[in-house]
Amino acid sequence: MHYDIVIVGGGAGGLELAASLGRTLGRHSGQEKVLLIDRASFHIWKPTLHEVAAGTLDAHQEGLSYTTLARRNHFSFTLGELGGVDHQKRHITLAPVLDIQGQVLVPERHISYRWLVLAIGSGSNFFGTPGAEHAYVLEQTLDAERFHQRLLTAFVRTAFSEGKLLSLAIVGAGATGVELSAELIEAHQELTEGLSKEQRFRLDITIVEAAPRILAGLPEKISHQAQVALQRKQVKVLTSTRVQAIEADALVTDQGRIPADLIVWAAGIKAADSNERLGLTTNRSHQFVVDAQLRTSAEGIYAMGDCAACEWESGRLVPARAQAAHQQASYLKQVLLGLLKERPVSAPFQYRDFGSLVSLGENKGVGNLMGGLSGRNFFVEGLIAKWMYMSLHLNHHRAIIGTIDTMVLALVRLLQRRVSGRLKLH
Ligand SMILES: Cc1cc2nc3c(=O)[nH]c(=O)nc-3n(C[C@H](O)[C@H](O)[C@H](O)COP(=O)(O)OP(=O)(O)OC[C@H]3O[C@@H](n4cnc5c(N)ncnc54)[C@H](O)[C@@H]3O)c2cc1C
């Protein structure tokens, strides 16, 4: 099998790149030249995984299958997991696809390329903390669904228990930890309001953060507002507290033991360990080191999104965010079209930080917007911030299914939510 452009990873960045290349090249040329590979068969925008975990977003309703996206956007798709890259022969190896019993469904395959784009995202960084197996993570849809199943079981068990108390600890008060806690509080509220009085139970959430404030990477005003909002929701926030070990029913911290029925680790990200075996230059977080044109150390291989380490300003790297993956997809589209047309693009990639938005539940958000005509930094909060946050998700949909279908989808979801409620108990 040969394709001019092979993109591995159909996430926030890789899928947008495949879709925009396919649409630009057109039906025949796009499907012939562009191949997207993902280890999953359907796509969910990763920033919504905390909603899948809390049960306020149904992964099966939200998920868009790659084959449909490929047909509509004129690229080709194949299911598979990257196993290796041969830089000399310019081919990649896809690991065998197994069924749920571990039997081989599809044997190992080789696919050759002229240009390869690695967009395989990142996973969790436990920083060597012992007991990682006791914590849930939100690396992929399956993780979020697994946590949701466990949460539902815990809800039922607690509702019929003597103590009527479910305790949950989240490690890391970055955007993922903060958004997850707000979403869980609202999910619990919606559930208990419908339960009989005898079955109502309390949900105690504790967020543990090593830094002196939550959302430490964002301006202080945002941290403060988010902390106030979480405290109003009765979330306990412990800052300057370092987790030393994770046990089955507790976190061991330098400030003492925190008992917890469920533990979620949302404290840091790291690219896959297997990246080290691809023969490309990587950094300590196993990200592929790329230059200003997103080129890795091997000819013809590019990397983008969370799996790429690209210098930004004052020695910092482009942050691992959906907006960075989106901007890199737009840039690589120009680069790859230039290569196809033999008119190479020499301009470097320039990341523009448009600010950050954090969701604090259904009707509330907080964040800052950078730029505008004056170049100033605007603080936004409340419903407006939440709408802006939602518009990022809609923008991603717009890039992969177009404006009209995005509007239809948004309307359908709104109506569905109105009829069925937010919380999924199935
Ligand atoms: C809960 C949560 C909330 C977040 N909120 C925000 C936010 O509000 N704003 C923001 O900017 N960012 C947010 N982020 C970060 C954002 O999701 C990531 O920065 C972004 O998704 C990175 O895009 P990507 O394309 O690099 O990787 P991903 O979107 O993670 O996509 C990677 C893709 O590669 C596939 N893949 C992985 N390994 C392989 C392999 N070996 N072979 C084949 N396929 C593979 C995966 O299945 C996946 O489809 C959030 C993240 C989480 C977890």
Tell me phi and psi for residue 355, to 5 degrees.
105, -175
pLDDT band at 71 (very low <50, low <70, confident <90, very high): very high
By the 10 Å C-beta count (0-12 exposed, 13-18 middle, 19+ buried), 53 is classed as: buried
- pLDDT tens-digit series, residues 160-180: 999 999 999 999 999 999 999
pLDDT for position 375: 60
- Ligand 1: distance of its center to the CA of 159 in Å? 34
Q: State the pairing for strand pair 76-79/34-38.
A: parallel
Decide if pLDDT at 270 tops 60.
yes
Please tell me if the CB atom of residue 4 comes closer than 6 angstroms to any atom of ligand 1.
no
Q: Count how many Cα atoms sit within 13 Å of the Cα of residue 47 in the half-sphere of its side chain.
A: 25
Positive or negative: CA dihedral 59, 61, 67, 68: negative
Q: Which amino acid is at 85?
A: V
| Residue 3 near residue 33 (C-beta atoms within 8 A) | yes
Looking from the CA of residue 308, the nearest atom of ligand 1 is 26
pLDDT for position 281: 98
User: Nearest residue CA, atom 19 of ligand 1?
Assistant: 321
pLDDT band at 374 (very low <50, low <70, confident <90, very high): low
| Residue 300 near residue 307 (C-beta atoms within 8 A) | no
- pLDDT tens-digit series, residues 174-212: 999 999 999 999 999 999 999 999 999 999 999 999 999
What do you get for the CA distance between the two ends of the chain, in Å?
A: 41
User: Nearest residue CA, atom 4 of ligand 1?
Assistant: 47
- Give the mean model confidence (pLDDT) for residues 95-113: 94
Taking every pair of Cα atoms in the chain, the longest distance, rounded to a whole number of angstroms, is 71
Question: Regarding the domain with residue range 2-122+271-340, which homologous superfamily does it belong to in the CATH classification?
Answer: FAD/NAD(P)-binding domain (3.50.50.60)
pLDDT for position 426: 74
How far CA 407 is from CA of 8, 246, 334, 375, 414, in Å, comes to 29, 44, 27, 31, 11
Decide if pLDDT at 256 tops 80.
yes
| Residue 42 near residue 61 (C-beta atoms within 8 A) | no
Please tell me if the CB atom of residue 393 comes closer than 6 angstroms to any atom of ligand 1.
no
How far CA 324 is from CA of 44, 69, 86, 147, 241, in Å, comes to 17, 22, 28, 27, 30
- Ligand 1: distance of its center to the CA of 277 in Å? 21
How many other β-carbons are positioned within 10 Å of the β-carbon of residue 388? 15
User: Nearest residue CA, atom 3 of ligand 1?
Assistant: 47
pLDDT for position 425: 78
CA 272 to chain centre: 14
Return the percentage of the chain with pLDDT > 90, whole number.
81
Please tell me if the CB atom of residue 386 comes closer than 6 angstroms to any atom of ligand 1.
no
User: Nearest residue CA, atom 50 of ligand 1?
Assistant: 47
Return the percentage of the chain with pLDDT > 70, whole number.
99
User: Nearest residue CA, atom 49 of ligand 1?
Assistant: 11
Please tell me if the CB atom of residue 47 comes closer than 6 angstroms to any atom of ligand 1.
yes
Decide if pLDDT at 370 tops 90.
no
Here the tokens at position 298 are 């091997």
- Ligand 1: distance of its center to the CA of 199 in Å? 38
Looking from the CA of residue 83, the nearest atom of ligand 1 is 41
pLDDT for position 49: 96
Class (C level, CATH) for 136-265: alpha beta
- Ligand 1: distance of its center to the CA of 394 in Å? 16
Cα separation, 242 vs 255, in Å, equals 8
Cβ contacts of residue 108 below 8 Å, gap of 6+? 83, 93, 94, 95, 96
- Ligand 1: distance of its center to the CA of 4 in Å? 24
299 DSSP assignment = T
pLDDT band at 373 (very low <50, low <70, confident <90, very high): low
Looking from the CA of residue 15, the nearest atom of ligand 1 is 25
Give the CA angle between residues 293, 296, 301 to the nearest 5°.
95
Q: Ligand 1 test: best mutation among 46, 180, 287, 331, most atoms within 8 Å of CB?
A: 46
- Ligand 1: distance of its center to the CA of 120 in Å? 8
Please tell me if the CB atom of residue 138 comes closer than 6 angstroms to any atom of ligand 1.
yes
| Residue 358 near residue 381 (C-beta atoms within 8 A) | no
Please tell me if the CB atom of residue 46 comes closer than 6 angstroms to any atom of ligand 1.
yes
111 DSSP assignment = E
- Ligand 1: distance of its center to the CA of 35 in Å? 19
- Give the mean model confidence (pLDDT) for residues 213-237: 92
pLDDT band at 372 (very low <50, low <70, confident <90, very high): low
CA 390 to chain centre: 15
Q: State the pairing for strand pair 256-259/262-265.
A: unpaired
Cα separation, 173 vs 197, in Å, equals 33
- Give the mean model confidence (pLDDT) for residues 376-387: 83
Give the lowest-confidence range in 40-54, 59-73, 122-136, 370-384.
370-384
Please tell me if the CB atom of residue 305 comes closer than 6 angstroms to any atom of ligand 1.
yes
Positive or negative: CA dihedral 124, 126, 128, 132: negative
Decide if pLDDT at 386 tops 90.
no
131 DSSP assignment = T
Give the CA angle between residues 206, 209, 215 to the nearest 5°.
105
Please tell me if the CB atom of residue 328 comes closer than 6 angstroms to any atom of ligand 1.
no
- Ligand 1: distance of its center to the CA of 121 in Å? 5
- Ligand 1: distance of its center to the CA of 103 in Å? 28
pLDDT band at 41 (very low <50, low <70, confident <90, very high): very high
Decide if pLDDT at 411 tops 70.
yes
- Ligand 1: distance of its center to the CA of 189 in Å? 29
pLDDT band at 371 (very low <50, low <70, confident <90, very high): low
pLDDT for position 69: 97
Cβ contacts of residue 360 below 8 Å, gap of 6+? 178, 179, 182, 226, 229, 230, 366, 386
pLDDT for position 61: 86
Give the closest residue to 242 by CA, choosing from 219, 262, 217, 212.
212
DSSP 3-state assignment of 8?
strand
User: Nearest residue CA, atom 6 of ligand 1?
Assistant: 47
| Residue 130 near residue 245 (C-beta atoms within 8 A) | yes
46 DSSP assignment = G
Please tell me if the CB atom of residue 177 comes closer than 6 angstroms to any atom of ligand 1.
no
- Give the mean model confidence (pLDDT) for residues 47-73: 94
DSSP 3-state assignment of 104?
strand
Decide if pLDDT at 267 tops 60.
yes
User: Nearest residue CA, atom 46 of ligand 1?
Assistant: 9
Cβ contacts of residue 154 below 8 Å, gap of 6+? 166, 261, 262
- Ligand 1: distance of its center to the CA of 11 in Å? 6
Q: Count how many Cα atoms sit within 13 Å of the Cα of residue 227 in the half-sphere of its side chain.
A: 18
Q: Which amino acid is at 380?
A: V
Cα separation, 285 vs 154, in Å, equals 34
- Ligand 1: distance of its center to the CA of 322 in Å? 7
Where exactly does CATH 3.50.50.60 map onto the chain? 2-122+271-340, 136-265
Decide if pLDDT at 75 tops 90.
yes
- pLDDT tens-digit series, residues 357-367: 889 988 888 88
